[in-house]
Amino acid sequence: MLIDRLRADLAALDDRALRRSRRTLDSACGPRVQVDGQPMLAFCSNDYLGLAGEPALAEALRAGTARWAGGAGASHLVSGHYRVHTQLETRLAAFVGMEAALYLSTGYMANLGVAPALVGRGDAIFADRLNHASLVDGALLARAELKRYPHGDLSALARLLARSTAARKAIVTDSVFSMDGDLAPLAELLALAERHACWLIVDDAHGFGVLGPQGRGALAAAGLASWRLIYVGTLGKAAGLSGAFVAGQADVLAWLLQSMRTYLFTTGAPPALAHALLTSVDLIEQGDARRTRLAALIAHLRAELQLSRWQLMPSGTPIQPVLIGDNAEAVAVAQALWDEGLWVPAIRPPTVPQGSARLRISLSAAHTAEDVRRLATALQRLEKRP
């Protein structure tokens, strides 16, 4: 019976210690949270600027619901598109230096929709092997041939591009890789896109708000502009709320508005959220002090945390993974940290390659230097434990 097969699949997850469960929080997002009744110091969220807990943002949400009440009521092209959605799109496009933008409910939906709108059967997608799952799913949905190149390997990518006879081509990459924290070589990728007549889709989920002048993102940081560039920013990480946007050249966005199925066939996000997101962009733009504090915490962790067996991976972003290797050891270390009130997620295959289980530390401007010291001290002690 179908249900027996499903139960066997669940049991198999249990056998391999791969069954995942949720921790339930009883307090707002921030470094100090109540989890299942316990006070914890958390290094897990992507709230890099500490905006999720920012009172001005909570107030903007209240003002948004006072002005726009509840849901959008329909999809954008039916009757679910509000003035404030347009205002947000205009603001976001200008902020990242693009001509136009489209606001979507989540980054997953943006990535699921963008590639299929640009390429299809007979075309090809070239994707970094460490790209986020949503980009992989978008590529599969596009039904184009999917060519994955080894992480950051520009010569492998160049070879694949040179050999391709596809009608239309798109290179797809994370800007900041979510489990490693390192940066894609965006300038070189754009040069390849130009040489081989490709789109270049850049998922800046972890860069928007953090990288570049005033947090304008990875493309602004690299000083890149081209009609080939399609920028995906997400609004649930540094922006502290929820949502995403796709930005680029005006004709490209005009086409996406006609063809992105994850935009067309879904209810518009609540206009109140768009209202609050305008405040979020303001806070990001005025957030140099937060970004400076974040950079100091990153430098502090890297200076403080001296490891021998484990390895703090090379990363200059708030994602600071500690490579442990063995799955069971990574889980045991995460549990030992948890037992002393420190919450750091262990990331195992298939999220990361076999043999590269790690702790994924993520830092926020809302952390203190003392928080970081406490984590570093605990990790160094646990590494020496037999």
Residue 334 burial by Cβ neighbours in a 10 Å radius (0-12, 13-18, 19+): buried
Q: Tell me the per-residue interface mask from 128 to 147 with ligand PLP, x by CB under 6 A, - otherwise.
A: ----x-x-------------
CB 327 within 8 A of CB 338: no
Distance CA 102, CA 90 (A): 9
Position among 45, 95, 128, 234 found at the interface with ligand PLP (CB under 6 A): 234
* Residue 280 near ligand PLP by CB under 6 A: no
User: Any catalytic annotation for residue 237?
Assistant: yes
Least distance between ligand PLP and beta carbon 336 (Å)? 27
Nearer Cβ to ligand PLP (231/310): 231
- The stretches of the chain forming alpha helices (DSSP H) are 2-15, 55-68, 83-96, 107-118, 133-142, 154-163, 186-195, 218-222, 250-259, 261-264, 271-285, 288-304, 327-339, 369-384
**Lookup: tokens for 340:** 């002393």
The answer to whether 318 contacts ligand PLP (rule: CB under 6 A) is no
Q: Rank residues 245 and 343 by Cβ distance to ligand PLP and give the closer one.
A: 245
- The verdict on 364 binding ligand PLP (CB under 6 A) reads no
25: its two tokens: 């929080």
Find where tokens 């703090």 sit. 312
Contact with ligand PLP (CB under 6 A) among 203, 233, 252, 322: 203
| Contact set for ligand PLP, span 74-133 (CB under 6 A) | 106-108, 111, 132
Q: Residue 174 phi/psi, 5° resolution?
A: -70, 150
Catalytic site residue 178? yes
Closest residue to ligand PLP in the complex (CB): 107
What tokens does 179 get?
A: 């489990």
Choose among 299, 278, 296: nearest CA to 288.
Answer: 296
Please tell me whether residue 236 binds ligand PLP under the rule CB under 6 A: yes
Rounded to whole angstroms, how far apart are CA atoms 115 and 112? 7
Q: Which of residues 157-176 bind ligand PLP (CB under 6 A)?
A: 174
Catalytically annotated residue among 175, 178, 315, 362: 178
Task: Rule CB under 6 A: say whether 365 interacts with ligand PLP.
Answer: no
Annotation says 206 is catalytic: yes
In the set 76, 85, 206, 275, the catalytic residue is 206
Smallest separation, CB 132 to ligand PLP (Å): 3
> Contact residues for ligand PLP (CB under 6 A)?
106-108, 111, 132, 134, 174, 178, 203, 205-206, 234, 236, 244
Residues with a known catalytic role: 178, 206, 237
